Structure 1
Amino acid sequence: MSPRRILEIIGAVELVTLVLMLGNVATVHQPTVSGVLGPIHGLAYMGTVIGAVLVMEGRHRVWLLALIPGIGGLLSARAASPRRTSSAGGA
């Protein structure tokens, strides 16, 4: 599994836990749900930042995007993808 794919998965976990926590606060506000999802979200957030630092390959934009809560992991995974160059034209 590529490091970019791992970063995508951790970013998705971060986003899902954030949405679930905000949904809990906006509706029923169960302390148990917050107590479980809070640490999972925190670990996922730290995982995205650390993972982005490991895969940045000299591009500081990758780990800077990871600092954005919620969607930062997914944005940094996208920024970490190899650059594609298209050769429009020919010889």
Structure 2
Amino acid sequence: MRALRTAAGVEFTSLLVLLVNLATVHWPAVSSLTGPTHGCAYLFVTVQVMRTPGTNGRTKLYALLPGVGGLLALRQYGRRQPAAAQGPRAAERR
């Protein structure tokens, strides 16, 4: 789950960088660096969610959304699991 959380953050952050670059200076070097980074993070999130056993259809559809899909899928995972299944320190984090 930690890898999915990291990839979702990279996916969202790289999309923001791409959009800010597009709206402001539009440097090709930034686009050529963050474009593939965003694509790899998107693919990683999608494959990770699809391969996770017990994932429902809504979570899989959320994972297909570029940019925010990973964050939405993580949110669905958090809603679906009871506090006992999230680990012994889950109650402390709330």
- TM-score interval w.r.t. the shorter chain? 0.7 to 0.9
Bigger Rg over Cα:
1
Q: TM-score, normalised by structure 1?
A: 0.81
Correspondence for 1:83: 81
Contact 1:66 1:75 in 2 (8 A): yes
Q: Distance in 1 between matches of 2:55 and 2:4?
A: 17
Among 5, 16, 21, the residue aligned to 1:19:
16
Unaligned runs of 5+ in 1: 86-91
Question: What stretches of structure 1 move > 6 A for 4+ residues in a row?
Answer: none
Aligned CA RMSD, in angstroms, stands at 1.6
Residues 59-74 of structure 1 aligned to structure 2 (within 5 Å)? 59-74=56-71
Contact 1:14 1:70 in 2 (8 A): yes
CA offsets 1:21-72 (integer angstroms, 9 cap, x no match) = 1000100000011001000000001111001112251412221101111110
Unaligned runs of 5+ in 2: 84-94
Q: Distance in 2 between matches of 1:18 and 1:58?
A: 25
Q: What is the DSSP-based 3-state SS (H/G/I as helix, E as strand, rest coil) of the residue aligned with 2:70? A: helix
Sequence identity percentage: 38
